[in-house]
């Protein structure tokens, strides 16, 4: 074990003060070490989810294993809005105006701010509710879920780490997800989203304050995955926006390559520029 | 985007058959009731979904005659979501517009 010099610094944030912290660069990096301020050195190392030591740590057997292909079916989700998340929360005025404009475009048979058609990622939560499979691999330290469309990926870290410091981890469309088990439920909290060109559903955008808490269970003897989303975004709506969605297991298939290609999209009637309202 | 309460039936000549993901797509040239040539675009499901209904990469090629039934675009442009296609030899290939699409 290498002991680095004691680093003493204090920062004040909202009335709190942080004292001295001993950094220890070793085989077992501390998960909660503070990020040094700018110019004061590298951040503490977070053990990778695939590090041999991290994988080998003794952990309780999880109540279920999500490894498999999960298909989103409109038929299974008629009660929750299918590709929307109904009922809606009370939208703030700016979001309400966008939503109303989106509904008008949809009634006219047009797309509205079709960023997916322009090959932007759907991001969470929509990446989970596409009509292509979600290939899911569960390890003791992480769940890796790859949506076939555009190969969008989300990682749910299970190794006890805190959220990554936004000072050192860029915002992303899939967000920063950490999960833990509560009985028969996987509880996942996701933060640090990229808000540009990122929508919950048609016409409802997110801000950088968007947060999702998910409660995930397996039902029907492991054939159904059920995920209850609790979404908050004080910039765009009031309170909690709750919605439960379901997927069925379909393991007799593997996902394939499916890039978003602008020249392909220009030939598809639903994604060509003529159908998009901005 | 597509009106799932309506169906259109379009017979035409294949200009392009893109056996690709995320969407298989077909463009055909059809002649309307006034004798004017119109290009129609059809969007379908993934290759994985369609091969289960018998589609293959070689199912269509440039110049083939095909009749396609689909749910038309709501805004009236010549495009539709493919429901089924009938090839020149009478083979009917279903789309995947049910459970997952």
Same domain as A32, residue A110: no
Asked if residue B96 belongs to a domain, the reply is: no
| pLDDT given at position A269 | 72
B90 in A contact zone (CB under 8 Å): no
**Contact list, B16 vs chain A (CB under 8 Å):** 267
Please indicate if any CB of chain A lies within 8 Å of the CB of B17: no
Confirm whether B1 is domain-assigned: no
Percent over 70 (pLDDT), chain A: 84
In a domain, B14, yes or no: yes
pLDDT value, residue A273: 56
Q: Which residues of A touch B6 (CB under 8 A)?
A: none
Chain A residue at shortest CA distance from B49: A132
In a domain, B61, yes or no: yes
My answer on whether A33 and A109 are in the same domain is no
Number of domains present in the structure of chain A: 2
The confidence band for A33, taking pLDDT boundaries of 50, 70 and 90, is low
Judged by a CB distance cut-off of 8 A, whether residue B47 touches chain A is yes
Report the pLDDT averaged over residues B59-85. Answer: 95
How far apart CA A200 and CA A208 sit, in angstroms, is 13
pLDDT at A56: 97
Is the pLDDT score of A102 beyond 90?
yes
ipTM of the complex: 0.78
B97 found inside a domain: no
Indicate whether B50 belongs to any domain.
Answer: yes
Whether A98 maps to a domain, the answer reads: yes
**Is A224 within 8 Å of A218 (Cβ atoms)?**
yes
Whether A61 maps to a domain, the answer reads no
Q: Specify if A32 maps to a domain.
A: yes
Query: Does the pLDDT of residue A32 top 50, yes or no?
Result: no
| B76-91: pLDDT as tens digits | 899 999 999 999 999 9
A256 lies in some domain: yes
pTM, entire model: 0.84
Q: Is residue B58 part of a domain?
A: yes
Question: Do A165 and A33 share a domain, yes or no?
Answer: no
Long-range interactions of A34-37: CB distance < 8 A, separation 24+:
A35/A165, A35/A167, A35/A168, A36/A7, A36/A9, A37/A9, A37/A11
pLDDT for residue A20: 40
pLDDT at B70: 96
The answer to whether residue A57 sits within a structural domain is no
Of A111, A149, A257, the CB nearest to B1: A111
Give the mean model confidence (pLDDT) for residues A210-228.
98
Biggest CA pair distance of chain B: 38
Look at B100 and A71 and tell me if their CB atoms are within 8 Å: yes
Mean pLDDT of chain A: 87
The total number of structural domains in chain B stands at: 1
| Token pair for A235 | 């910039």
Interface contact B28, partner A, CB < 8 A: no
**A221, pLDDT greater than 70:** yes
Residue B78 maps to which CATH number?
A: 2.40.50.140
Task: Write down the pLDDT at residue A40.
Answer: 86
Residue A173 lies in a domain: yes
> Per-residue pLDDT tens for A154-212?
999 999 999 999 988 999 999 999 999 999 999 999 999 999 999 999 999 999 999 99
Please indicate, yes or no, whether residues A137 and A267 belong to a single structural domain of this protein. yes
For A242-272, b/e burial (b = at least 16 CB within 10 A) is: ebebbbbbeeeeebeebebeeebbebbbbbb
Domain extent at residue A124: 68-277
Which pLDDT belongs to residue A274?
58
Q: Does residue A62 sit within a domain?
A: no
* Top-confidence residue, A18 or A52: A52
pLDDT at residue B98 is higher than 80: no
B13-61 residue pLDDT tens:
999 999 999 999 999 999 988 999 999 999 999 998 899 889 999 999 9
Q: Looking at the structure, do residues A23 and A137 belong to the same domain, yes or no?
A: no
Q: Which of A12-26, A67-81, A194-208 has the lowest mean pLDDT?
A: A12-26
Q: For position A275, what pLDDT does the model report?
A: 62
- The reply to whether A160 falls in a domain is yes
Say what the pLDDT of residue A15 is: 41
Residues of chain A neighbouring B22 (CB-CB closer than 8 A): 132, 148-150, 258, 260
Residue range A140-153: mean pLDDT, rounded: 97
A40-73 confidence digits (pLDDT tens):
888 888 999 999 999 999 999 999 999 999 999 9
């Amino acid at each position: 074990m290498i002991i680095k010099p004691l680093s003493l610094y204090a920062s004040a944030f909202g009335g709190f003060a942080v004292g001295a912290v001993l950094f220890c660069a070793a085989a077992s990096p501390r998960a909660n070490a503070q990020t040094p301020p700018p110019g004061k050195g590298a951040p503490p190392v977070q053990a990778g989810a695939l590090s041999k030591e991290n994988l080998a740590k003794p952990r309780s057997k999880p109540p279920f294993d999500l490894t498999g292909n999960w298909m989103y079916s409109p038929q299974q989700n008629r009660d929750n809005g299918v590709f929307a998340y109904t009922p809606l929360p009370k939208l703030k005025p700016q979001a309400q105006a966008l939503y109303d404009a989106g509904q008008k475009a949809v009634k006219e048979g047009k797309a509205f701010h079709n960023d997916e058609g322009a090959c932007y990622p759907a991001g969470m939560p929509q990446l989970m509710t596409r009509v292509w499979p979600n290939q899911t691999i569960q390890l003791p330290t992480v769940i890796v879920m790859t949506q076939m469309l555009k190969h969008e990926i989300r990682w749910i870290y299970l190794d006890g780490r805190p959220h990554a410091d936004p000072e050192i981890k860029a915002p992303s469309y899939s967000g920063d997800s950490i999960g833990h088990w509560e009985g028969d439920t996987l509880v996942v909290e996701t933060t640090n989203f990229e808000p540009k060109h990122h929508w919950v559903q048609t016409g409802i955008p997110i801000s950088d304050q968007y947060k999702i808490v998910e409660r995930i269970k397996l039902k029907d003897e492991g054939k159904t995955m059920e995920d209850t989303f609790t979404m908050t975004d004080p910039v765009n709506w009031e309170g909690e926006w709750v919605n439960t969605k379901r997927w069925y297991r379909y393991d007799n298939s593997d996902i394939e390559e499916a890039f978003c290609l602008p020249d392909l999209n220009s030939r598809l009637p639903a994604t060509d520029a003529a159908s998009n309202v901005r | 985007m597509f009106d799932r309460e309506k169906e259109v039936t379009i017979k035409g000549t294949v200009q392009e058959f893109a056996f690709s993901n995320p969407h298989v797509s077909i463009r055909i040239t059809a002649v309307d009731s006034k004798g004017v040539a119109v290009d129609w675009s059809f969007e379908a499901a993934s290759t994985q979904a369609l091969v289960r209904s018998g589609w293959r990469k070689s199912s269509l090629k440039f110049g083939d005659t095909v009749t396609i039934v689909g749910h038309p675009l709501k805004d009236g442009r010549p495009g539709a979501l493919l429901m089924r296609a009938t090839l020149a030899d009478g083979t009917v290939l279903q789309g995947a517009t049910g459970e997952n699409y």
